[in-house]
């Protein structure tokens, strides 16, 4: 393995890779981290990936990595980069295979004391109501016409079909519908994978977790979000399933062929890309938007499953239960945004791979209900520790193109976690903490064992210390459904 690029500390929470560290770098690399987290990445190939991103045409200011950085495809997970729309590129590896993988938080209106006696039944009901695991099939089978509608309209399609409430849409990024989506840009192979998977969690790091609000740090915003200490909430994490994965596969192949025809050699072939303004680049972005809409519809159907499970266990009708969506946030996306670049405002295409927006108060992109405080940022931890709700800060705009981390970040690969941890040990340890786990496979638990992840407390400390986000509330797990 080649020597990792050298990091130079800029301050307590920022480290730089100079352009002289790796051939072809056009801009420096910036890593948000601290002394406690740094040891996990200093010899990790994700740092070289960060330097490689800095070689791409049209990149603006710097290539960025969040404190949850780990090795990914092309870009490191936790990678952020902005590209000029005329001279820059779009790279599917900078968005990720699971297009619009995202996190949704739902408040229940129930307390921990009310839920605890029914927790085992609730987790069982959620496991039955929300299919999980590899190849899982959802509650609807889409016709070709219905799939077109999902790809064009996202969560709004699901609400029209009775899988949710109109109020759900106002608290999602883009109101749960990415503009510019083109169902025709999605291949037959991708479409085939999408017909039966709507309303499913999938596998890997995707989950459905019943949590309790443990601590409030920003009372005014927490009150606006409807979060109260001791209240039970539900956090879910999933994306566009096999359809989004196939979209990425298809367009990486298309871009590989384009680069070969043009005789272009990249420092890493996984950074396969096309000019933003090219036909291939634009067609990918339309397909990506369609995949993003599929993901929002997917999370909307899962929310319906959550509501049905709670109604079954607690005997409450739809009109009697709360279960309002607090927020739905997307990572694994590329978005056209205006940012300050070289003394002026410029339209750029911001890639966020395992990273999410963290826009501050006053921005039009923040839902009206929350605009006074900033965008909610949802940071899952691992199933044995805690998750966080945070708020975007003004300094995130100048430091990270308005971005923050999307989770704790892997410390061990899935293969390494399976070798190190045993299913019985993981479930016994979680059970000792009162955390109930239901999973579609034993590997789904060992791959995602708490020891496989970074310390979420340190990750959040860096995000706050670097001026990207501010803590609002800490959430602790009670029970989890895994793929």
pLDDT for the residue 252: 98
pLDDT for the residue 325: 98
Q: What would the CATH number be for the domain defined by 102-251+271-336+356-482?
A: 3.90.1860.10
Identify whether the C-beta of residue 391 lies closer than 8 Å to the C-beta of residue 117. Answer: no
Identify whether the C-beta of residue 404 lies closer than 8 Å to the C-beta of residue 390. Answer: yes
pLDDT for the residue 319: 72
Of 62, 195, 331, 406, the active-site residue reads 406
Query: For residue 337, how many other CB atoms are within 10 A of its CB?
Result: 17
Task: Give the integer Cα–Cα distance in Å for 174 and 115.
Answer: 33
Of 2 and 440, the one with more pLDDT: 440
Q: Is it the case that residue 440 has pLDDT exceeding 90?
A: no
pLDDT for the residue 141: 95
pLDDT for the residue 146: 98
pLDDT for the residue 279: 98
Residue 480, CA distances (Å) to 10, 106, 431, 441 in order:
39, 14, 11, 13
pLDDT for the residue 135: 83
**Mean pLDDT, all residues of the chain:** 96
Task: Give the integer Cα–Cα distance in Å for 124 and 128.
Answer: 6
Where residue 109 falls among pLDDT bands split at 50, 70, 90?
very high
Task: Give the integer Cα–Cα distance in Å for 334 and 348.
Answer: 10
Q: Which two tokens stand for residue 230?
A: 């001791």
Q: Which range, of 110-124, 243-257, 285-299, 311-325, averages the lowest pLDDT?
A: 311-325
pLDDT tens column, 249-270: 999 999 999 999 999 999 999 9
pLDDT tens column, 72-82: 999 999 999 99
* Phi/psi-derived region of residue 362, left when phi > 0, alpha when psi is between -120 and 50, beta in every other case: left
pLDDT for the residue 133: 84
Residues 6+ apart with CB under 8 A from 98: 239, 240, 241, 244, 245, 332
Enumerate long-range contacts of 433-436, CB under 8 Å, 24 or more apart. 433/384, 434/478, 435/383, 435/384, 435/477, 435/478, 435/479, 435/480, 436/119, 436/120, 436/123, 436/478, 436/479, 436/480
Q: Which two tokens stand for residue 363?
A: 């921005």
pLDDT tens column, 367-418: 999 999 999 999 999 888 999 999 999 999 999 999 999 999 988 888 999 9
pLDDT for the residue 4: 86
pLDDT tens column, 126-158: 999 999 888 889 999 999 999 999 999 999 999
Q: Is it the case that residue 1 has pLDDT exceeding 60?
A: no
List the chain domain ranges.
Answer: 102-251+271-336+356-482
Q: Judge whether 339 counts as a catalytic residue.
A: no
Task: Give the integer Cα–Cα distance in Å for 89 and 285.
Answer: 11
pLDDT for the residue 2: 66
Identify whether the C-beta of residue 210 lies closer than 8 Å to the C-beta of residue 477. Answer: yes
What share of the chain has pLDDT > 90, as a percent?
91
pLDDT tens column, 197-216: 999 999 888 999 999 999 99
Strand 29-32 relative to strand 376-379: parallel, antiparallel, unpaired? unpaired
């Amino acid at each position: 393995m080649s020597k990792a690029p050298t990091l130079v500390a800029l301050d307590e929470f920022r480290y730089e890779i100079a352009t002289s560290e790796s051939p072809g770098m056009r801009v420096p690399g910036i890593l948000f981290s601290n002394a406690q987290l740094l040891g996990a990445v200093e010899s990790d190939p994700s740092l070289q990936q960060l330097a490689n991103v800095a070689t791409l045409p049209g990149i603006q200011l710097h290539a960025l990595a969040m404190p949850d950085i780990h090795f990914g495809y092309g870009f490191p997970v936790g990678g952020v980069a902005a590209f000029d729309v005329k001279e820059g590129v779009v790279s599917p590896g900078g968005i990720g295979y699971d297009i619009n993988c995202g996190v949704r938080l739902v408040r229940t209106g129930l307390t921990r004391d009310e839920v605890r006696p029914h927790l085992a039944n609730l987790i069982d009901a959620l496991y039955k109501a929300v299919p999980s695991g590899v190849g899982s099939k959802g509650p609807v089978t889409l016709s070709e016409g219905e799939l077109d509608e999902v790809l064009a309209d996202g969560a709004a399609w699901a609400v029209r079909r009775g899988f949710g409430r109109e109020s759900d849409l106002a608290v999602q990024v883009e109101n749960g519908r990415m503009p510019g989506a083109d169902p025709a840009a999605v291949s037959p192979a991708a479409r085939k994978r999408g017909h039966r998977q709507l309303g499913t969690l999938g596998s890997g790091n995707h989950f459905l977790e019943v949590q309790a609000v443990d601590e409030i740090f920003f009372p005014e915003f927490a009150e606006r979000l409807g979060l109260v200490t001791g209240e039970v909430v539900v956090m879910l994490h999933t994306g566009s399933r096999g359809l989004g994965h196939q979209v990425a596969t298809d367009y990486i192949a298309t871009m590989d062929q384009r680069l070969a025809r043009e005789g272009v050699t990249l420092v890493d072939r996984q950074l396969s890309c096309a000019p933003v303004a090219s036909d291939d680049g634009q067609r990918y972005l339309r397909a990506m938007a369609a995949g993003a809409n599929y993901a929002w519809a997917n999370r909307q159907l899962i929310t319906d499953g959550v509501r049905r499970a709670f109604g079954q266990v607690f005997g409450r009708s739809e009109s009697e239960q709360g279960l309002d969506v607090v927020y739905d946030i997307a990572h694994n996306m590329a978005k056209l945004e205006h940012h300050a670049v070289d003394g002026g405002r410029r339209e750029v295409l911001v890639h966020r791979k395992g990273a999410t927006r963290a826009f501050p108060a006053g921005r039009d992109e923040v839902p009206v209900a929350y605009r006074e405080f900033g965008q909610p940022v949802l940071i899952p931890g691992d199933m044995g520790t805690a998750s966080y709700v945070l708020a975007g800060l003004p300094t995130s705009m100048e430091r990270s193109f308005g971005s923050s981390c999307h989770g704790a970040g892997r410390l061990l690969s899935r293969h390494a976690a399976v070798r190190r941890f045993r299913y019985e040990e993981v479930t016994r340890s979680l059970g000792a903490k009162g955390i109930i786990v239901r999973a579609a496979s034993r590997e789904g638990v060992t791959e995602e064992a708490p020891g496989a992840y970074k310390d979420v407390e340190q990750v959040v400390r860096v995000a706050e210390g670097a001026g990207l986000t501010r803590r609002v509330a800490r959430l602790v797990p009670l029970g989890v459904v895994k793929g």
